[in-house]
Structure 1
Amino acid sequence: MWWISKWLALRKSGVLGINERNLSYIKKFNNRKFYPLVDDKLKSKKLALEHGINVPELYGVIHSEHDNKNLDKMLTGRSQFVIKPAQGAGGEGILVITHFINNRYRLSNGRLMTLDQLKYHTSTTLSGAYSLGGRPDKAMIEYLIQFDPIFAKVAFQGVPDIRIILVKGFPVMAMVRLPTQVSNGKANLHQGAIGAGVDLKTGITLHGVWHNEIVTHHPDTLHEVEGITIPYWQKCLDIASACYDMTKLGYLGVDLVLDKVYGPLMLELNARPGLNIQIANQVGLIERYKLIKPVINGDMTKEERIKYVLDRL
């Protein structure tokens, strides 16, 4: 049947499917006892700071409805910030505030919200509306990233980020996720952002994938997504590889942002990173795994792991 031949072709090209990812990577390399370190963004942030990894500044945390009543005091003097659920997934529940004008908070998409509307949103967050499994949650208030101008022409009303996938601390694949109008300014592929592959050796972007289709230009800004040299690329790889040492999760997605003032910052971690990154790079994760398999259980520093991969690409 046609689907069998298609599956065989994908398998031959080294593309990793979701079932094999779950069994041969997530289940094999990720001890579930470490999941809370990445599923809770507040825990990830605290852990990163303990390990000397730079993260966006935390302005405050809303733990309860009592905290929520004092949200106005927490936001006093702030006109730019991000509110996000600590245990959210897929970019749900995140508010990006860019201005405070006429007693209203302006979101990155132009929508205006009153303080009461913000309180309602954070109350909904506490109830678990955006969390994994609907568990009660916390709302984090963070510094709003001022993204590096290198991405100004290929990001629409939002902050682009960099996803690096690691296997046992070896960086094996990367992409830049670029917000679009469809994604409502969020760097989330499932909501319509573009994923542009990144050459691990050079840090230069490749073509993009948008709704599972190959694209060369951003649909909103009309600029090419290919050929952008990402600043601080070696530092990005260094931070990503250090996150394995920090979490002990062997199959890990590390999301970074490039701030024009602070440089690379770790945004969040993912113990179940998706597979569209293979389309963006036109190479399968199985092929990259073969590259590191001979030394995967070796005792290597993060610098040695990075060098090992880059020397063989």
Structure 2
Amino acid sequence: MGWISPRALNRLGMLNMNRRNVDYIARYNERASYPLVDNKLKTKLVVAEYGVKTPRLLQVVRHQHEISHFREMAEDLAGFAIKPAKGSGGKGITVITGRDGDEYIKGSGVRVNAGYLERHLTNILAGLYSLAGTPDVAIVESLVQSEPGLARYSHQGVPDIRIVVFRGYPVMAMLRVATTASDGKANLHQGAIGVGLDLGSGRSLNAVQFNRPALLHPDTGLALESIQISDWDLMLEMAARCYEATGLGYMGVDLVVDANEGPLLLELNARPGLAIQMANGQGLLPRLKTIEKLKRPHFTPQERAEFAMATFAARA
């Protein structure tokens, strides 16, 4: 797994933030489509119409009086996730992974009671975690049980796969695995590891933590160079389907591999970050330009996924 410096990445077509914002986000993303991706509940509902599976919806809390139904709903559940519909960057997400009597066990191992979770729901409704501080809606979803082969690479958190999709074509992907530094969250800015993935096969290419090369996971000690994502062609097709669902020309698609359900969509992002380039050791610009130059774009999500696998596969 070779390390490529930021200077060398510029020569390889590194996309910077200004160019991303002007040439791709502003040009290819209609403002009318933003509410579909900035609201997790709307995302779940719209992608379902296009055959994209998401974690099962257990409860929607829109008003304060509905919080009283939470304890009854969660009575027999061993695990679940509470999320603000309009949260960003993982803020406000609480994951419960187990029960011990009247106590709920968070992913970090911390024990909390029902009152704690009800106060958290109140804070979500008040807009504490929403993008603009506006009143929000809380959603309660089934707990994602990460596929064991992939879960072992992540510390206390569910690993996810970010795929950048441009005009319906997957153009770059990375696996994000949690660490102690990232507090169990798959957030690269907080210290999660980004593992670049070969679009042709779903195999790991290169890994970084805090934009520096990483060969081993700092907590598990596992090598990061031989990871293989299962159901890779299906995941790329799911990502491509999100183009029809939202109409967004440039977006990030975040997926997980559930042990029982297979690939599931977690959320969409209309302003995906650029660290994926460091994780892959490749710039985005050449791939984006390849898609822009297509004389006859492919009509179906499957065709676009297959084109991406063939065109952007890592070369020996």
TM bracket, shorter-chain basis: over 0.9
Distance 1:7 1:183 in 2: 23
Distance 1:148 1:7 in 2: 33
- Name the residue aligned to 1:119: 118
Query: 1:21 — aligned with what?
Result: 20
2:231 match: 232
How do 1:115-264 and structure 2 match up within 5 A?
A: 115-264=114-263
Q: How far did residue 13 of structure 1 move?
A: 2.1
> Residue deviations 1:50-81, cap 9 Å, x none?
22211110000111111112221121211200
Distance change in 2, residues 1:7/1:94 (3 Å): closer
Tell me the C-alpha RMSD between the 2 structures.
1.6
Whichever residue aligns with residue 237 of structure 1, its letter is L
Aligned partners of 2:7 and 2:187: how far apart in 1? Answer: 29
Tell me if structure 2 keeps the 8 A contact 1:16–1:285: yes
Task: Find the counterpart in structure 2 of residue 76 from structure 1.
Answer: 75
Cα deviation for residue 139 of structure 1 reads 1.0
Do the aligned partners of 1:236 and 1:264 also contact (CA within 8 Å) in 2? yes
Question: What CA distance in whole angstroms lies between the structure 2 residues aligned with 1:7 and 1:98?
Answer: 39
2-side partners of 1:167 and 1:152: how far apart? 28
| Correspondence for 1:3 | none
Aligned to 1:88: 87
- Report deviation, 1:192: 1.7
- 1:201-236 Cα deviation digits (max 9, x unpaired): 011012211111111111110101221111000000
Q: TM-score, normalised by structure 1?
A: 0.94
Q: 3-state DSSP class of the match of 1:23?
A: helix
> Which residue of the partner structure matches residue 53 of structure 2?
54
What residue in structure 2 maps to residue 295 of structure 1? 294
**In the TM superposition, what whole-angstrom CA distance separates every residue of 1:100-159 from its partner, at most 9, and x where no partner exists?**
113111101011111111111111111111111111111111011111111132111111
User: Residues of 2 paired with 1:127 and 1:226: CA distance?
Assistant: 44
What corresponds to 2:102 in structure 1?
103
- Distance, in Å, in 1 between the alignment partners of 2:272 and 2:239 is 14
User: Could you tell me how far apart the structure 1 residues matched to 2:263 and 2:6 are?
Assistant: 38
Q: How many Å separate the matches in 2 of 1:130 and 1:211?
A: 25
Q: Which amino acid aligns with 1:15?
A: M
* CA displacement 1:280-309 (0-9 Å, x = unmatched): 000001011122222177352222222222
What secondary structure is seen at the aligned counterpart in 2 of 1:154?
A: coil
Taking the aligned partners of 1:262 and 1:92, their CA distance within structure 2 comes to 25
SS at match of 2:175: strand
> TM-score, normalising length from structure 2?
0.94
C-alpha change, 1:218 and 1:296, in structure 2 (3 Å) is farther
Measured in 2, the distance between the counterparts of 1:119 and 1:27 equals: 39
Displacement, 1:11? 3.8
Distance 1:225 1:108 in 2: 23
- Say how many residue pairs are matched: 308
Write the letter of the residue equivalent to 1:130. Answer: Y
Query: Is the 1:90–1:190 contact (alpha carbons within 8 Å) kept by the matching residues of 2?
Result: no
Offset, 1:48: 1.5
**Judging changes above 3 Å, is the alpha-carbon distance between structure 1 residues 296 and 256 closer, same or farther for their aligned structure 2 residues?**
farther
Instruction: Measure the CA separation in 2 of the matches of 1:214 and 1:138.
Output: 39
Deviation at 1:83, TM superposition (A): 0.6
Structure 2 counterpart SS, 1:272: coil
Could you tell which deviates more after superposition, 226-235 or 203-212? 203-212
What secondary structure is seen at the aligned counterpart in 2 of 1:217?
coil
CA distance in 1, matches of 2:145, 2:128: 28
Cα distance in structure 2, aligned partners of 1:204 and 1:246: 27
